[in-house]
Amino acid sequence: MTRAPRPAMILGWFGVLPFAGLTGALAVGLGDAEQIADALRLYGAVILSFMGGVHWGVATLRSENGVPPYGVSVLPALWAFAMGFTSPPIGLLGLAAGFLALLAYDLRCVRRGDLVEWYGRLRLWLTLAVILCLVVAGFIGS
């Protein structure tokens, strides 16, 4: 299959909506900026952790015995957790960096054949949208 399954595309883009909505709320000054930034950091941490978990699932399906695939699956959650203890601008920009690093690893896995091609394309566009939102929010919050 060269195209992403329709449910993956739809649900993936629905997952971007909170990033866009919260960033938009920050941009127009809707509500308490600190609470909105905290909500954005929390949602970003949840999603980054979820995206890392993909690698645990792949490693499990392949009955991997090595540490790297499992380690890579846990690192995004640890990074996201750490970003929760920073100021909102640093945390938001740090999450953006985490998403970028995981994207680079995911695309490497696609090139190696560990993940299907459509996953790489979908991840690229979804992650670019998420990173844009986090960077904009990070600069608004600084």
For Cα atoms 25, 31, 34, give the angle at the middle one, nearest 5 degrees: 90
Question: In terms of Cα–Cα distance, which of 104, 103, 95, 77 is closest to 133?
Answer: 95
Mean pLDDT of the chain: 94
Q: What is the pLDDT of residue 142?
A: 62
Q: What is the pLDDT of residue 44?
A: 98
* Listed range (31-45, 59-73, 93-107, 122-136) with the worst mean pLDDT: 59-73
Q: 131 pLDDT exceeds 70?
A: yes
The answer to whether position 2 is within a domain reads: no
**Are 134 and 93 contacting, i.e. CB atoms less than 8 angstroms apart?**
yes
The answer to whether position 118 is within a domain reads: yes
The answer to whether position 78 is within a domain reads: yes
Number of domains present in the structure of the chain? 1
The answer to whether position 7 is within a domain reads: no
Per-residue pLDDT band for 15 (boundaries 50, 70, 90) equals very high
**Are 79 and 96 contacting, i.e. CB atoms less than 8 angstroms apart?**
no
The answer to whether position 125 is within a domain reads: yes
The answer to whether position 1 is within a domain reads: no
Q: 24 pLDDT exceeds 70?
A: yes
Q: What's the one-letter identity of residue 91?
A: G
pLDDT per residue over 45-104, tens digit each?
Answer: 999 999 999 999 999 988 888 888 899 999 999 999 999 999 999 999 999 999 999 999
The answer to whether position 5 is within a domain reads: no
Q: What is the pLDDT of residue 1?
A: 58
Name the residue range of residue 96's domain. 17-140
The answer to whether position 9 is within a domain reads: no
